[in-house]
Amino acid sequence: MTDELAVLGIECFAHHGVFEFERREGQTFPIDLVLGVDTRPAAASDDLQDTVDYGSLVAAVKAAVERDPVDLIETLAQRIADVCLLDTRVEWVRVSVHKPDAPIEATFSDVVLTITRHRSGT
């Protein structure tokens, strides 16, 4: 059994998308992370070294989102999951990539892709 650590609404500005105007103009991609982490060692020691430093993790995720444009949010979500799983204390991660400014010819509030990846690679 693991605990869940969530960081929600990480605002990243990037140039992802299939269309040339998305790549040129860019847009905001809010990111939500939920990490499966055993927090008992940190609770016992009260030491940051015994848990996931979410400040450093958010900086790494933001950098990963804002570099190297890709066409699909599926590719972006996998990139983010890979960054989160670099910390061996993260047993699984749920990543939600929001694209509220997606080029859709209808009124909508958001497009969200959520993936879950486990340390085993699934």
Q: Please give the positions annotated as active site.
A: 99
Residue pointed to by tokens 């299939």 = 18
Tokens, residue 115? 């993936």
Main-chain dihedrals φ then ψ at residue 3, nearest 5 degrees: -90, 170
Edge to edge, what strands does the sheet with 112-118 contain? 3-14, 27-37, 90-98, 112-118
